[in-house]
Amino acid sequence: MKIRILCAFICLMLSCTVSSSQANKDQADLIDKGFDYYQNEEYREALKFYNEAIALGPDTPDAAIAFYNIGNIHQYILDDPNTAYGHYTRTLEIDPDFLNGAASYKRGLISLDRQDFKKAVIDFTRAVLPGEGSHLLSAYLNRGVSYQNMDKPDQAIKDYDVVLSYDPGFEKGLPYYNRGGCYFEKSDFESAIQDYTSAISLDPENAYYYMDRGAAYQNLGNISAAEADYKKAVSLSPDDRIRTLVNNNLRRLDKSQDKDKKIKRIQALMLQWGQAVEKSANAMSTGNFRISDRFVDECLACTQEIRRLYNSIGVPRPNYAFTDAMDMVVNTYVNMGEFVAVKQNPTGYKKDINYLAELAAESYRDIGQAAVIFDNAGMSDLAQTCRYIKSQLDTIVAAIEKKLGCQII
């Protein structure tokens, strides 16, 4: 989520015309001369006179003006924020409330650009304390940006709220856009969409606004709206960065749609598996083992396909370990077919009691383990089914143990 920063060019160059002594008058005159050179875009000459003014008294109110103006030249003309930062600091050492917080605001912008967000918050807070000045709303906005970069969206939202309460149209919807980003971070995508939409109404040609609203729509599953916003963003901007971001989102969108289809397929296979298990059990109970085996094969094919689909969408194997329990249920039913065969034809059954005891013990252990796995996976219905099967095995195990005269579990 891109956070847009307002770095307003409040490069107010101050002049001095009033002083109470000859030294102060000389200092003020030098600042006025520096101001004249500044207006004529002769910045080196302007700096010369400002520095001469400071030399006459580095801690006077007039010196604060000179330091401030030098800071502005280095920040906005010479692209030297480090030197500018030092001069704004000297201004604030002389007058902490200089120009209703303007120097604090300028220094805060440099800290924000350096990504020193804690210092930026301190300076922007000092800038808003006087409650006036042309920088006031910009200071609130940029303090919100700083909080947002510090992963404090709730505090950022409060600052954006202040800006919007003063001027809902400030900076072509930038406060709405940034506040929408905060809601996005909080996964409140409905509120994010509302703010992005407000931002778009104020600047309908801003590609970033559409791009991020598309991302919010995507997170809500509104695929058609997301695609429309992504396409609009690309159409508005020749910027390769916008195109790259949008194309990445569209690729994720395609993957998301493919993933959704596979998840729905898994859900259908789970239902198919459950129905096949029931049909296999019913066929087995009537001695129709051929039909029962057919449904057993269907069950095993379902679990194999479910595993393949989970693997294809990157789900870790432990997260679908319940498919092992599904196979345990099927194998238990297969084993129970032997017990049904004994019951239906006890004299004609060819396998001995020890073989049946092994099957019963194996099934008893498997179905108990399957119940635990289903419980851990949150599949309480299947876990309950396992416990029901286990209760049936209790009767079979008891009969075998009575026949053998020993315990098999």
pLDDT value of position 399: 83
234 and 354 share a domain?
no
Is 123 part of a structural domain of the chain? Answer: yes
Most trustworthy range by pLDDT among 92-106, 284-298, 330-344, 389-403: 92-106
The three-class DSSP label of residue 239 is coil
Is 185 part of a structural domain of the chain? Answer: yes
98 and 145 share a domain?
yes
93 and 222 share a domain?
yes
66 and 182 share a domain?
yes
Is 372 part of a structural domain of the chain? Answer: yes
pLDDT value of position 250: 81
225 and 276 share a domain?
no
Whether the pLDDT of residue 341 is over 90: the answer is: no
119 and 40 share a domain?
yes
pLDDT value of position 409: 65
pLDDT value of position 333: 84
The least confident of 64-73, 159-168, 238-247, 357-366 is 238-247
Whether the pLDDT of residue 19 is over 60: the answer is: no
Q: How confident is the model at residue 23 (pLDDT cuts 50, 70, 90)?
A: low
Q: How confident is the model at residue 327 (pLDDT cuts 50, 70, 90)?
A: very high
DSSP 2: P
Domain finish residue from 207, 230, 253: 253
Residue numbers of the domain that contains 299: 260-404
Domain finish residue from 220, 237, 253: 253
175 and 278 share a domain?
no
Tell me the per-residue pLDDT of 383-393, one tens digit each, with 9 for 90 and over: 998 998 888 88
What is the spatial distance between Cα 351 and Cα 359, in angstroms, rounded to a whole number?
Answer: 11
pLDDT value of position 219: 87
What is the rounded radius of gyration, in angstroms, for the C-alpha atoms of the chain? 38
Q: Where are the alpha helices (DSSP H) in 237-321?
A: 240-285, 289-312
Mean pLDDT across 43-55: 96
More confident residue, 2 or 157: 157
Is 10 part of a structural domain of the chain? Answer: no
285 and 376 share a domain?
yes
Is 94 part of a structural domain of the chain? Answer: yes
233 and 361 share a domain?
no
User: CATH code at 51?
Assistant: 1.25.40.10
Domain finish residue from 209, 228, 253: 253
Mean pLDDT across 255-261: 78
Count of domains forming the chain: 2
Q: How confident is the model at residue 312 (pLDDT cuts 50, 70, 90)?
A: confident
Is 11 part of a structural domain of the chain? Answer: no
Is 13 part of a structural domain of the chain? Answer: no
Whether the pLDDT of residue 197 is over 90: the answer is: yes
What is the spatial distance between Cα 59 and Cα 91, in angstroms, rounded to a whole number?
Answer: 9
pTM: 0.64
234 and 349 share a domain?
no
98 and 51 share a domain?
yes
Mean pLDDT across 92-107: 96
Whether residue 145 contacts residue 156, with contact meaning beta carbons closer than 8 Å, is answered with yes
Whether the pLDDT of residue 254 is over 80: the answer is: no
39 and 87 share a domain?
yes
Stated as kind and residue range, the H or E segment containing 196 is helix 189-202
Is 16 part of a structural domain of the chain? Answer: no
What is the spatial distance between Cα 295 and Cα 125, in angstroms, rounded to a whole number?
Answer: 71
Q: How confident is the model at residue 280 (pLDDT cuts 50, 70, 90)?
A: confident
Mean pLDDT across 109-132: 96
Mean pLDDT across 218-247: 88
Using the structure block, give the residue that is written with the tokens 């918050």: 121
**Size of the chain in residues:** 409
Closest by Cα among 285, 301, 277 to 386? 277
Whether the pLDDT of residue 40 is over 90: the answer is: yes
Mean of pLDDT over the chain: 88
pLDDT value of position 348: 60
pLDDT value of position 7: 42
